[in-house]
Structure 1
C-alpha cells in the first residue's frame, strides 16, 4: 500500500492530457512518487535540523528541491495557508484564491519604491579605536547593571574613559618638544618645528599636539608670540607627509579661525597682529587646497563662515580684515563671487569708520581697504585710503 493511491495518479495524469493508464503503470508510478517524496522530505528535514528548528517549512522543501535540481514550488509560503475546494464533478480540488475587486485595486496606493543601491564610506576605526557609528557593529555590553528605584549613586558602576597608552619615549618626546617650544628662541623654535615637519613617528602624538594647540590658544588669546608659535606648529604638522591628519581637521579649523577673525589677539592695539591673521589665512588656503579632494565641502563651509563675518557690520574691523584675507587666499573666483557684489555696501561702512583720522578704527579701516587693494580690485574711492597703513 502506497501513500498515493493509483486513483490519484490517474487524476493527475488526466490533468496533463493522459487518459489511458493501466493499473500496473499507475501502481509503479505511485511507488516511485512515494520514494521521491520521502527522499525530498528527508532532505528538507536536514535543512530544518541545520537551522536548529523543530518545524518544517516550505523554505526547507524548496531548498531540498533546489539541492536535487528540481523546480521549486511557487505560490506557497510558510506564513499563508491555502484552502482547497472540491469540484462538484469528480474527486477534483482547486485552490480557493481570494477575489480582488479591480476597482479597489486601482484606487489602492502603490507600494514605495525600494531605495537605490549606493556605496558609502565611514570610519571603520580611527587610531585603532572603533567609533560608535550606525554602520559599525555595536559593542556588546554584557555588564549592564539594572537600576531600581532605590539605586543610589554609589551602586552605579562607572568606568573611566578609554585613553591611548603612549610609550614612555613618546611621552618624554612630547613633553620635551612642547615645553621647549614655549620657552625657545626663534632659532630653537625653528629646529623644533623642523622636527615636527619631518618626524616619522608622530601619528600617536597627533591628537595630543592638536589638544595642546587648542589649550594654548584659549589660554594665551592675547599673546601674539604664543599664538604665532601655535600657528607655526599647525603649519608644520600640515607639512608632515608621514601622518594622517584628516580626522582632526574639525579640531584644527576652530583654532586657525580664532587667530584669523578673532576680535582681539594682542594686549595693545598697536601690536602687529595683522601678520598673524595673514599667516592664519594662508593656513586656511593650505587646508582647502590640500584636502579638497578628500573633503569637497570644506571650502564651501569655510567660505560661508568667512562671508558671514565679512557682511556682519556688528563685527569689529579686525575680524573683517581676517575674513577678507581668508576669502582672498581662496582664489580670485571666490573674491569675484563673494566680495565684489558687496563692495559698495562695505565701502559705506569704511567711510563711516574713516571720518575720525585719530581713532584706531581709522587705522583698522585702512588695513581693510589695503587688503582689498592688494588683490587689485580698486573699486573703493582712493581718497579714503590713509597716508600710512
Structure 2
C-alpha cells in the first residue's frame, strides 16, 4: 500500500536535512513526509495558542513572547529564549531650527551599529549551537558589482524565478490516478501529449499525424467521456499558461476545444464555465503570442486565433443560449465593455495603443448573431460604426500599406449574392457617414456599402422602429464576412 500523500506546505526536505545532521539512522521512505505533516500540525497548534495570548493582550500584532508563552502553556521547551520583556527602543529627539520661541523636536528610533568583526566572534545561542548544520561562513556576495559563481550565490536561472511551462502537465494528479483505471490514465497521457507537439510541425511529420489522430479521437471517441473532466481542466489550465507562448501552441489548444465541442456523444454542458474564460482570454488578451511576434508563415496570426475562438464562442452561444437565459447577455456585456473601453498604452512599449482587444471584441460580437451586431456594434443609425472607425484611425498607422484588421472585423454585411449586379455607390458618402477607414475597406465591396447605406436610411426614416415585427427578417441580412 503506498504511503498517504501529505498535502501540507512544510517541506519534507527540511526534515531530511535535519535527520542527516543528527547521529541517527537514515529515514525510511515516506517517514519524512509523515514527520513534515506532524511538524506543520504542531506549528499550527503553537501559533493558535500564541494568538490567544495576543488577543488577551488586546493587540493585533503577534510578538515573540506570545509564542514563548504558548510553548510554555503546551509544555514545549523553547529552542531560543528571548529576553523578557523585550527591550523597547529609546526614542531620541533631534531639534529642528524654528523661528518661534518654542523649540521643535523630531523623534526617531536610532539604529544600532553592529560591528560584524566582533559580532561573529560571539558564541552562537545555545539552541542554535546544539543543532547540527548551523554555523557562520563567509563568502563573497559580489566582486566589483558582479556575483561570483559559487554555490552560496544563486545562479541567474534561480534569480529569474521558476520558468512557466508552456502547457499544463500531461500527467494526472494522484487523486485521478487513484480513481481512473490504468487504460484511461494511459489514454489521457497519450491524448494530451499528442494534442500539443513540443515543437512546430509540418503536415508530413510524425507529430502532426499524431495530433490529427488525437483531434479525431477527441471529436468522435466515446471513451473521452471517462476523462472529460480532466481534459477540460487540462485545456483551461494550458490556455491560461501559454497566452504569450508561440501562436502555434495556442492554435493547437483552440483546435482541441473545437474538437471537444464537436463530439456529440459527450455531455459538455456542465463544463461551460471552465471553457468560456479561456476562449474570452484568447479573444481579448493583449498581447497574444510571443514578443517579438514570430514571422514564420506556419504560425497563425493573433487575428486568426481570435477569429477561431470567436467562431467556437458563437457555437456555444447558439447551442446553449436558449437553455441559459443569462449566457448571451453576459457575453455581450463583457465584449461590449471591452469594445467601448478607452485605448491603453501598449504593454510592449509600442508607439500606438494595441488594437487586438477591439478586433477580438468585434469578431466575437459578430458571431453571436445579427441582433447582437445591431445592438452592440451598429448602434443608433450607425453611430457605433462611426466611433469604431475613428478608433481604428487612432490605433493603426499607415492604414493604406497594411490591412486594417479592425476594419476587416467590422465588415458586417454578407457577401454580394451572385445573381445581383454590383451597384453604384458613392464612397464619399460612406466616408462622411461612417468614416474614411471603412470607406477604403469597402472600395471593392460596393454591395456591402450599398447595404450599409440602405440600413442607415431606413433607420433614419423610422422604418426599423415602425416595422418591429420585420426586425428579424432585416436582421438576418446582417452577418460577418470573416474572410473579407
TM-score by length of 2: 0.44
Distance between the aligned counterparts of 1:309 and 1:174, measured in 2? Answer: 36
1:317 equivalent in structure 2: 355
Match 1:219 to one of 208, 217, 241: 241
1:380 aligns with 2:434: yes
Deviations 1:306-357 (A, max 9, x none): 1110001235311100100000011121111110122222222222234x31
Deviations 1:48-81 (A, max 9, x none): xxxxxxxxxxxxxxxxxxxxxxxxxxxxxxxxxx
1:196 equivalent in structure 2: 218
The correspondence of residues 125-204 of structure 1 with structure 2, limited to 5 A, is 153=44, 165-183=179-197, 185-204=207-226
1:249 aligns with 2:278: no
Paired residues of 1:321 and 1:368 also in contact (CA < 8 A): yes
Q: Tell me the secondary structure at the aligned position of residue 201 of structure 1.
A: helix
2:289 equivalent in structure 1: 266
Q: Cα distance 1:175–1:162, how it changes in 2: closer, same or farther (>3 A)?
A: closer
Paired residues of 1:313 and 1:349 also in contact (CA < 8 A): no
Distance between the aligned counterparts of 2:219 and 2:46, measured in 1? Answer: 50
Distance between the aligned counterparts of 1:272 and 1:228, measured in 2? Answer: 9
Deviation at 1:383, TM superposition (A): 5.1
Distance between the aligned counterparts of 2:227 and 2:186, measured in 1? Answer: 11
Q: Cα distance 1:153–1:214, how it changes in 2: closer, same or farther (>3 A)?
A: same
Paired residues of 1:216 and 1:226 also in contact (CA < 8 A): no
Distance between the aligned counterparts of 2:248 and 2:332, measured in 1? Answer: 27
1:48 equivalent in structure 2: none
Q: Cα distance 1:177–1:162, how it changes in 2: closer, same or farther (>3 A)?
A: closer
Distance between the aligned counterparts of 2:238 and 2:325, measured in 1? Answer: 30
Distance between the aligned counterparts of 1:245 and 1:283, measured in 2? Answer: 13
Q: Cα distance 1:368–1:358, how it changes in 2: closer, same or farther (>3 A)?
A: closer
Q: CA RMSD in A?
A: 3.2
Structure label with greater radius of gyration: 1
Distance between the aligned counterparts of 1:304 and 1:238, measured in 2? Answer: 24
Q: Cα distance 1:363–1:251, how it changes in 2: closer, same or farther (>3 A)?
A: farther
Distance between the aligned counterparts of 1:353 and 1:172, measured in 2? Answer: 48
Q: Tell me the secondary structure at the aligned position of residue 226 of structure 2.
A: coil
Q: Cα distance 1:264–1:175, how it changes in 2: closer, same or farther (>3 A)?
A: same
TM-score by length of 1: 0.54
Distance between the aligned counterparts of 2:252 and 2:279, measured in 1? Answer: 12
Q: Cα distance 1:302–1:383, how it changes in 2: closer, same or farther (>3 A)?
A: closer
Deviation at 1:162, TM superposition (A): 6.8
Q: Tell me the secondary structure at the aligned position of residue 373 of structure 1.
A: coil
1:369 aligns with 2:392: no
Distance between the aligned counterparts of 1:343 and 1:242, measured in 2? Answer: 41
Gapped runs of 5+ residues in structure 2?
A: 1-40, 48-173, 198-205, 345-353, 416-429, 445-483
Distance between the aligned counterparts of 1:182 and 1:383, measured in 2? Answer: 39
Q: Tell me the secondary structure at the aligned position of residue 196 of structure 2.
A: helix
Distance between the aligned counterparts of 2:321 and 2:374, measured in 1? Answer: 20
Distance between the aligned counterparts of 1:274 and 1:352, measured in 2? Answer: 19
Distance between the aligned counterparts of 2:372 and 2:331, measured in 1? Answer: 11
Distance between the aligned counterparts of 2:302 and 2:410, measured in 1? Answer: 18
Distance between the aligned counterparts of 1:383 and 1:231, measured in 2? Answer: 31
Match 1:307 to one of 324, 336, 347: 336
Gapped runs of 5+ residues in structure 1?
A: 1-149
Paired residues of 2:339 and 2:361 also in contact (CA < 8 A): yes
The correspondence of residues 270-309 of structure 1 with structure 2, limited to 5 A, is 272-309=301-338
Q: Tell me the secondary structure at the aligned position of residue 352 of structure 1.
A: helix
Q: Cα distance 1:301–1:351, how it changes in 2: closer, same or farther (>3 A)?
A: same
Match 1:350 to one of 367, 388, 392: 392
Distance between the aligned counterparts of 1:204 and 1:154, measured in 2? Answer: 42
Distance between the aligned counterparts of 1:266 and 1:363, measured in 2? Answer: 20
Distance between the aligned counterparts of 2:323 and 2:187, measured in 1? Answer: 31
Deviations 1:219-254 (A, max 9, x none): 222221111111111111111122211111001001
Deviation at 1:376, TM superposition (A): 5.5
2:453 equivalent in structure 1: none
